[in-house]
Structure 1
Amino acid sequence: MPHADPIGLLDHLIAFDTVSNRSNRALIDWVADYLTCHGVDAQIVASPTGNKANLLASIGPPVEGGIVLSGHTDVVPVDGQDWSSNPFRLTERNGAYYGRGTADMKGFVALALAMVPELLTRDLRVPVHLAFTHDEETGCLGVPALIEAMQASVPRPAIVVVGEPTMLTPVNAHKGCYFHETTVTGREAHSSAPHLGVSAISALVKIAGFLDAEAAEAARHPVPASAGRGAFDPPWNTLNLGWIEGGSAANIVANHASLVWDYRPLPDADPDAVVGRLERFVSEQVLPDLLARCPEAEVRTERIAGVPAFKPDPDGAAESLACALTGANSSRTVAFASEAGLYQRAGLSTVILGPGDIAVAHKPDEYITQDQLDDGMTLLYRLADWATA
């Protein structure tokens, strides 16, 4: 039996509005039904609230040494973007398919599902596992529970392929990504008597200035490429002040202000170091003045999400296989974060390899070309051959 129609499957997947702040259960249930129709059992791993879920399924013998095809089912919002067509309806134009998630990364999920009928005809020596997650775009929040379920119910795989859009070139490294929220509590007062209040905004401005200085200092110390790893772009730890809010009116001294910021350290950098330096700055340069005027004042920094860096493993099974199947002489690095670092932290040999171009992801008129889908299917056939031989 040949593979199923990937375009038809992609059409179904794109039609599910799985923006991360919404449920992905309808998509997961549809995928589970598709697998059931082919005689494949699917394990649904629900989120704590139950409104989102991961899916895990296996084809082939229940033995160790299999390969995991991993993809996330959530997508980023389309609000405020100028699309030429409905982002949740797959639209073909000039050899390309447009829609939110076509590249990142429902295209890969569609290809993996399309391979199911073909895999069922194979005398596989090791299993092929399908692993589809929720909330990757908001900090890879879903995959830890899926990894836990995999460890409990599936013989240990040898290789994980995270099908993020890499134009089908192997990727062996990315930076970490850590989201933080720094909150300042001061004291409210009428703005005609500011000496009676303590401005949380003024304190937060000092903190934002410190973080900007940290970012500038990091940029002065680029880290070149090393053995087994290409250079990053940019080749230093980055820090971004992403969202700030505080106060309630122009004539009220603000008693509350908060800043959400992200830190993206290189694979060998300590992800906690910048928070340690921030806390020292706060304790020495910010809090003494606040507490002298407002004993209840507080500055708190909380990590709200964290994705570990993905580190090169040039002798690992995943990278070696990816290079062999694609003909690549070496792997490259990428700027974006992914679930690969979490699979690697769980001790699984991992590579990032998938169809589509990350340059069009998260943008209006996101697309994937027919050629990339065709080449992606060819790659999955080669993976199936490896699992069969």
Structure 2
Amino acid sequence: MTEAIGLLERLVGFPTVAGTGNAPLIGWVRDYLEAQGAKVTLLPGPEGDRFNLFATIGDPNLPGYVLSGHVDVVPAQEPGWQGDPFVLRREGGRLIGRGACDMKGFDAAVLAAAPQLAAMPLAAPVHIALSYDEELGCRGVPHLLSRLPDLCAPPLGCIVGEPTGLVPVLGHKGKAALRLVAEGQAGHSSRPDLGVNAIHALLPALTAAAAQAEALVHGPQDDRFAPPWSTLQIGTVEGGQALNIIPDHAEARIEARAIPGADPRALLDPVATASDVSVEWLSSYPALALDPGHPLATLAAELSGNAPQAAVSFGTEAGLFQQAGVPAIVCGPGDIGRAHRPEEYLREDELAGAVEMILALGRHLC
């Protein structure tokens, strides 16, 4: 456990906030894994300062299993922190720091297990996939997945270690998000005929969004989820400077969350086409739906000691692995309720449980 805690301390110490560079962390992980004998490939993203990492312990030409995590974290500017969020603190069995639960704890467990995995006579490989900008809508991992056929034989499955209390999760909704921007012409509000109101230009799209949200309530249902229908919401609307100035700029951010079988981007199409404004797609990832009888579900239950759960409300990269042809399940340490909050933490026993689950996978492959 001391090794795993030390590794988590190092990972938390890299302030890899989503949307910023992660080269120092990825370089350190590469050196660590190569020292364990793993074959490591760095996969730069198009941004130039962010990298995915893919590593293999064992023979990459044989079908094996992927352990997947992301290394980015949400910002840590909330006033409720009792210490530096990027310095891990140990208090009463809690490991406190930004990303400790979501999801550098799983990453640390994987790294802690790597030396023992490397010493095992594995009949199938264990792959480690670390991605960037998951918190911005799973933007980084598609670049990794596009290279997967060059890196290894088709995997038998993928365990995405998001915090589920080490309970295997079979499904989650997909998500898409967009930003609408309207440009107008400023002027005095007493002469609207001499200006163009950007907020007014957004109204058809906002009206379409509200109508689509209501229509989805009466659309296809999946009782594994709460609520059981696909959802759509207007998250933010911004525009205008003062009451007596015609707004020359306005924008809105809108998201859709889709049950399995529905395309989240398609849910937003009526919104994207309702106004003559610019549309920027912010993110998109598919739903996850693993059959309860799939061998990966059985294996994850055996490794974790917990029966699979049908679904969770939050999204992960697992749907993208599944879309790429890799069966995927979500199972990692911690509680999602602690994520994205001040004093985020992972318990020491949860970290130890994750290490044991990963080592159990290694023993299964021997």
Partner of 1:342: 320
Partner of 1:295: none
Structure 2 unaligned blocks of 5 or more: none
Alignment TM-score, normalising by the size of structure 2: 0.94
Deviations 1:313-355 (A, max 9, x none): 2233322211232344443211111110110000001111111
Q: Is the 8 A contact 1:59 1:129 kept in 2?
A: yes
Partner of 1:360: 338
CA distance in 1, matches of 2:306, 2:318: 19
Partner of 1:259: 252
Instruction: Tell me the CA shift for residue 4 of structure 1.
Output: 7.6
CA distance in 1, matches of 2:296, 2:315: 18
**1:224 to 1:22, Cα distance in 2 relative to 1, 3 A:** closer
The one-letter code matched in structure 1 to 2:225 is F
CA distance in 2, matches of 1:311, 1:247: 43
Which segment is superposed worse, 179-188 or 110-119?
Answer: 179-188
Alignment TM-score, normalising by the size of structure 1: 0.88
The one-letter code matched in structure 1 to 2:259 is L
Identical counterparts, % of pairs:
40
Q: Is the 8 A contact 1:163 1:353 kept in 2?
A: yes
Which residue among 275, 278, 291 is the counterpart of 1:300?
Answer: 278
Q: Is the 8 A contact 2:101 2:339 kept in 1?
A: yes
CA distance in 1, matches of 2:299, 2:340: 29
Q: Is the 8 A contact 2:170 2:308 kept in 1?
A: no
Q: Is the 8 A contact 1:4 1:114 kept in 2?
A: no
Q: Is the 8 A contact 2:167 2:308 kept in 1?
A: no
Which segment is superposed worse, 353-362 or 314-323?
Answer: 314-323
Deviations 1:95-148 (A, max 9, x none): 111000011000000010011110111110001111101110001111011112
Q: Is the 8 A contact 1:4 1:116 kept in 2?
A: no
Q: Is the 8 A contact 2:60 2:151 kept in 1?
A: no
The one-letter code matched in structure 2 to 1:44 is L
Secondary structure in structure 2 of the residue aligned to 1:88: coil
Partner of 2:291: 313
Secondary structure in structure 2 of the residue aligned to 1:115: helix
Partner of 1:131: 129
Q: Is the 8 A contact 1:101 1:361 kept in 2?
A: yes
| Correspondence 1:5 to 2:11 | no
Partner of 1:246: 239
Structure 1 unaligned blocks of 5 or more: 226-230, 288-297
Which residue among 213, 226, 239 is the counterpart of 1:233?
Answer: 226
Deviations 1:17-38 (A, max 9, x none): 0011321111001101111222
| Correspondence 1:374 to 2:356 | no
Q: Is the 8 A contact 1:241 1:261 kept in 2?
A: yes
Alignment of 1:172-183 (within 5 A): 172-183=170-181
Instruction: Tell me the CA shift for residue 220 of structure 1.
Output: 5.0
Partner of 1:31: 29
The one-letter code matched in structure 2 to 1:168 is L
Which residue among 359, 362, 366 is the counterpart of 1:384?
Answer: 362
CA distance in 1, matches of 2:317, 2:209: 26
Which segment is superposed worse, 156-165 or 184-193?
Answer: 184-193
Partner of 1:326: 304
The one-letter code matched in structure 2 to 1:346 is A
Query: Which entry has the higher C-alpha Rg, 1 or 2?
Result: 1
CA distance in 2, matches of 1:139, 1:299: 23
The one-letter code matched in structure 2 to 1:188 is A
